[in-house]
Amino acid sequence: MYNFFKKIYNVLDRICEPISCICLAGVIIITFINVILRYIFSAPLGYIEEVSALLYTFLVFFELSVTHKRNSAVGVDIVVAHLPEKARRVMDSISTILTLAVWILLVILGVKLAVSTTTTYTNYLRIPYHYIYWFFPISGFFCVVQLIRRLVLIVMGKDYVENLDYDENGQI
């Protein structure tokens, strides 16, 4: 079971960050192109704004998983930072479990949203919104996998941020 989970994690680890980078590059390039078309040629492409918004949305969805992997979500740890090691692990476990519960709920609600919106389409490209809405539960699943991994590492007593053993490819 652990090996199966580790394989899933490794696959997700390899795809989330590159997809985020591709989406960011796409947003930058097409926005730049549309600015040139708008201000130099006075002929902006209307669908570029829609594509840019979709790419930015996908960027955020995939980057959420990377954020959980690196434990770099914004948080206030002024009290937790002053606690002893064991108490910090307990607080981190509680925080991870609560975050995991929220993500599981969001995945379930995201699936319901994606299934229920089969008749609405984007304005220019006429992409069915349910295809777009599927990215929320998919990215939520990626976050759930990252959070389960973090919880396992906390329970095993490993420091999942600073002291992980990386191989030459940057993999754990």
Is the distance from CB of 151 to CB of 160 less than 8 angstroms? Answer: no
Residues facing 128 on adjacent strands: 121
Q: What is the model's pLDDT at position 99?
A: 92
105-141 per-position pLDDT tens digit: 999 999 999 999 888 898 888 988 888 899 889 989 9
Q: DSSP secondary structure string, 28-96?
A: HHHHHHHHHHHHTSS---HHHHHHHHHHHHHHHHHHHHHHHHHT------TTGGGS-HHHHHHHHHHHH
Q: What is the model's pLDDT at position 100?
A: 95
Q: Quick one: average pLDDT of 13-25?
A: 89
pTM strictly above 0.95: no
Residues facing 121 on adjacent strands: 128
Q: Quick one: average pLDDT of 78-96?
A: 86
Is the distance from CB of 164 to CB of 158 less than 8 angstroms? Answer: yes
Structure tokens at 34: 């549309």
Residue 159 has pLDDT above 80, yes or no: no
Tell how far CA 62 is from the center of its chain.
Answer: 3
Residue 171's contacts (CB-CB under 8 Å, 6 or more residues apart) are 10, 13
* Cα–Cα distance measured from residue 155 to residue 43, given in angstroms and rounded to the nearest whole number: 58
Between 21 and 8, where is the model more confident? 21
Secondary structure class of 78 (helix, strand, coil): coil
Is the distance from CB of 89 to CB of 154 less than 8 angstroms? Answer: yes
